[in-house]
Amino acid sequence: MFVSRWMSGVVRAQLPAFFSQRDIAIADLQWCIDNATLAPHRDWLREVYAKLSDVHRARGDGAQATRYRALSGYATESRPGVFTTPFGTGTSAGSTFAPQAIREVVKDSVYVLSGFEFTEYYFVVSADRRELIAIDAGTRPDSARAAHEALKAAVPSLPPLTTVLITHAHWDHVGGHSYFRSLNPAARFVGRSNFQDELAIDAAADPAGLRRFFGDRFRLEDVLSYKADVGIDRATPLVIGGTRFMLLPRTAARPTTRCWCTCPIKACCSSAIS
C-alpha cells in the first residue's frame, strides 16, 4: 500500500497544472508521511518531501515549499532524481542488502544483525546465560567485528563467545572466522566434516570478482584458512550451556545450483548444516 501511494503522489506531483492532480498528489504524499512506518525504508520519505516542496512552490506557497525542501535534505530546488533503498554497494564495504539493524527474534536469547555487510549475523545466548553461540562467521574479519561490537553495545550483558556453528564453508559464511578466533582461542568451530571440499570450490573463484562484490577489504585467504574443530557428517545433537541444538547435514543436492544467500559465484550448498 505504501509503495502504491508513494508512486501515485510522486507521479501526480510532476504532472502539469492543467491535469488538476495537485490536490490528489498532496493527499497521497501526506498519507506517506502519516504512515512512514509502512515504508520499505525511512529514506523513501526524501522524495515525498521533495515533491511536496515542488507542489507547494507551484501553488505559490513559498513558506511550505521551503519547509518541505529542508525536510527532504536537498540544498536547492534544482536536483537530480534520487531513489533511496536499503540496498547499497561501496568500494570498501561491498554489497549490503539491508539497513543496519539488530533484531531480537527470541527475547534475551536470539539476535539477528543485518546491514553490516553482504550476509547476516546470528547470535544465540545459551540458556544458562554463560555462553554466546554464533551461527556462521560472515565474509570479512572487520565486518564480523563490527557486528559483534554492535551487539555488545546493545546487550551489555552479552556472555563470551564459546562456539561458532558453520552451516557451510562459502565465502560469506566463514570469511570472518579469524575475528571470532581472536575473541576466544578456545572457541569451537562446528561445521561439516567435508569443509575442505567447499573451500576448494571457494579457492577456484576469481578474487577480483569477489572483491568487487564483497568489498576491497575481502581477502580470499581469510576464507581458505577456516578449519572446523568439530566435523559433522550425520545428524548430531548438541547442548551448549543448556541450549539444545540438532545439527542436520544435508545429504542430497538442492534441485538448483543457486545458493540460498545469492552468492556471486553460483555453487551447490548441498553440504550445508540446517
In this predicted structure, what is the pLDDT of residue 78? 75
The full set of domain ranges for the chain reads: 2-72, 89-247
In this predicted structure, what is the pLDDT of residue 92? 81
The CA distance from 34 to 209, in Å, is: 43
- Residues 20-76: tens digit of each pLDDT: 999 999 999 999 999 999 998 888 899 999 999 999 999 999 999 999 999 998 888
C-alpha distances in Å from residue 124, one per residue of 137, 184, 242, 273: 13, 16, 12, 16
- Residues 225-242: tens digit of each pLDDT: 999 999 999 999 999 999
In this predicted structure, what is the pLDDT of residue 113? 96
pLDDT band at 267 (very low <50, low <70, confident <90, very high): very low
pTM here is 0.68
Does residue 80 carry a pLDDT above 90? no
The CA distance from 100 to 114, in Å, is: 5
C-alpha distances in Å from residue 121, one per residue of 113, 138, 147, 195, 272: 5, 7, 7, 20, 16
Domain 89-247: what homologous superfamily? Ribonuclease Z/Hydroxyacylglutathione hydrolase-like (3.60.15.10)
pLDDT band at 261 (very low <50, low <70, confident <90, very high): very low
The CA distance from 146 to 132, in Å, is: 16
Poorest-confidence range of 76-90, 147-161, 201-215?
76-90
In this predicted structure, what is the pLDDT of residue 40? 82
Highest mean pLDDT among 209-213, 225-229, 266-270: 225-229
